Amino acid sequence: MKRALLILVFLGIALSLSAQLGVKVGATYNRFGGVSDVDYLSNKSRTGFQAGILYKLHLPLLGLAIQPEILYQQSKTDYTPVQGGVIEVERITQKSLLVPLHFQFGLDLVMLRPFIQISPYLKYMLGKREFFSNSYTTNRLNYGLALGGGIDIWRFQFSASYYWDFKSACHSIENNSAGKAPFSQAKNKGVQLALAYFF
């Protein structure tokens, strides 16, 4: 009898779960934090993009959903260093494989579902390794956190989040001390806007 009840309970939970597979595209606006204004004349966000696949699992608990994703991301930042009075803008393009895990808390309103989300992520850098005038090399593996929200409308999902890396984006090729290598503390941060479609 107990076994039958357990089977019914697990079956009910399984039936209450719903999962969706989808695709996602979005825009990113990235800049570097952790760098003093003394070390650059400008540090401006430029529009980048991201695209990939996602999987959303709805849990039968207060509108909770878990949404892992695998994304290719390309972010851009215009940086103008201070170099002996010479002003030369360097556009830094970072290509990465991004793996966020979104924990969403929302309200199910039939066709609409507004939600907030907290999203730890892992990031693996791809492509070019040197930047900041080729004096620094990329830290390949990074991680961070994003906070945001969005809304599900039928099969579409609109979302926005603010993210920041916990680890610096690069380290000095010459292995200087932090005082002589100020950009070794440069950390990516910015805003992501995205649109997803579920099949």
- The CA distances from residue 123 to 46, 90, 108, 181, in Å, are 19, 23, 31, 23
Neighbouring-strand partners of residue 188: 32
Nearest Cα neighbor of 133 from 162, 176, 170, 177 is 170
pLDDT of residue 53: 97
Backbone angles phi, psi at 33, to 5 degrees: -105, 170
* Interacting residues of 12 by C-beta distance below 8 A, sequence separation 6+: none
Nearest Cα neighbor of 120 from 148, 95, 158, 139 is 148
| pLDDT tens, residue order, the chain (199 aa) | 666 666 555 544 444 457 889 999 999 999 887 776 555 656 778 889 999 999 999 887 678 999 999 999 998 888 776 655 556 677 788 899 999 999 999 998 878 999 999 999 999 998 766 766 667 777 889 999 999 999 999 999 999 999 999 988 887 766 554 445 567 778 899 999 999 999 9
pLDDT of residue 14: 47
pLDDT of residue 11: 45
pLDDT of residue 110: 79
CATH of 16-198, one of 3.40.50.970, 3.30.56.10, 1.20.1290.10, 2.40.160.20: 2.40.160.20
Q: Rounded to whole angstroms, how far apart are CA atoms 162 and 139?
A: 21
pLDDT of residue 108: 85
Nearest Cα neighbor of 50 from 21, 75, 67 is 75
**Residue type (1 letter), 143:** Y
- The CA distances from residue 105 to 31, 76, 121, 155, 161, in Å, are 28, 31, 18, 18, 14
pLDDT of residue 97: 96
pTM, 2 dp: 0.82
With H, G, I as helix, E, B as strand and everything else as coil, classify residue 183.
Answer: helix
